[in-house]
Amino acid sequence: MSNKHLKNMVLSAMFLAIGLVLPLLTGQIQKVGNMLLPMHIPVLLCGLICGWQYGLVVGIITPIMRSLLFTMPVMYPVAIGMSFELATYGLVIGLLYSKSKWKCVFSLYRSMIIAMLAGRIVWGVAQVILLGIKGNAFTFELFITNGFVTAIPGIILQLVLIPTIMVALNRANLVPFSKDKQKGTINV
């Protein structure tokens, strides 16, 4: 096992732990959690820092494990749907950012916004399927309200906090922004 792989596994475990604990700041109040989206932040950071493979796995595991440990979010349909959404976040942001020619704030925002849109679309499809199994409808109005309108504070928080963290890590020489195209994950 290479040092890079071991380092990414340890960082992924840390992001998973943060994803389990960070929602405790919302006091287990589902409405506040739906607005601030605390589980999304560590998954997005994991995809950026460790790579898409790790972001994908942490995204799948975090909501399911959190549901099993803390009963929040509720397993069906919320945690299962979030699992698909967060897995998409980790996959898409990690893949797009690693393939960006420039590792800069612009590339970061582009990757983040595309990942956030893709994740919400996947979440919507998952909700249609999961709720359809029980014979419930998931309307376009519910998709827009729950996926975007209610989530505006969390979306803003992510768009401010994640680039701020990445810039701070760059200044500390932990996650370098560069002009050179890098393959795979960001060297931490």
Mean pLDDT of 1-24: 94
Greater model confidence, 84 or 31? 84
CB 86 within 8 A of CB 56: no
Overall pTM surpassing 0.85 (yes/no)? yes
Question: Cis omega before residue 153 (within 30°)?
Answer: no
User: How much is the pLDDT for 81?
Assistant: 96
φ/ψ of 38, rounded to 5, equals -65, -25
Helix (H) or strand (E) holding 12: helix 3-21
pLDDT in tens, 48-71: 999 999 999 999 999 999 999 999
Spatial CA neighbour of 48 closest among 147, 114, 125, 2? 114
User: How much is the pLDDT for 183?
Assistant: 45
Greater model confidence, 167 or 32? 167
User: How much is the pLDDT for 136?
Assistant: 87
Cβ neighbors of 112 (< 8 A, separation 6 or more) are 44, 93, 158, 159, 162, 163
User: How much is the pLDDT for 3?
Assistant: 92
Mean pLDDT of 126-137: 90
User: How much is the pLDDT for 157?
Assistant: 94
**Percent of the chain's residues with pLDDT above 90:** 70
CB 91 within 8 A of CB 56: yes
Rounded CA-CA distance 61/63 in Å is 6
Mean pLDDT of 135-152: 88
Write down the CATH number for the domain with range 3-171.
Answer: 1.10.1760.20
Alpha helices per DSSP H over 30-185: 30-36, 40-50, 52-70, 80-99, 105-133, 140-144, 152-171
Identify the band that residue 28 occupies on the pLDDT scale cut at 50, 70 and 90: low
Question: Cis omega before residue 73 (within 30°)?
Answer: yes
User: How much is the pLDDT for 146?
Assistant: 85
Mean pLDDT of 151-160: 94
Greater model confidence, 184 or 82? 82
Rounded CA-CA distance 81/124 in Å is 8
Cα-based distances in Å from 49 to 24, 136, 174: 24, 38, 10
Identify the band that residue 138 occupies on the pLDDT scale cut at 50, 70 and 90: confident
User: How much is the pLDDT for 48?
Assistant: 96
182 has pLDDT over 90: no
Would you kindly state where each structural domain of the chain is located, as residue ranges? Answer: 3-171
Rg of the chain over CA atoms, in angstroms? 16
Greater model confidence, 188 or 19? 19
Spatial CA neighbour of 38 closest among 54, 22, 53? 22
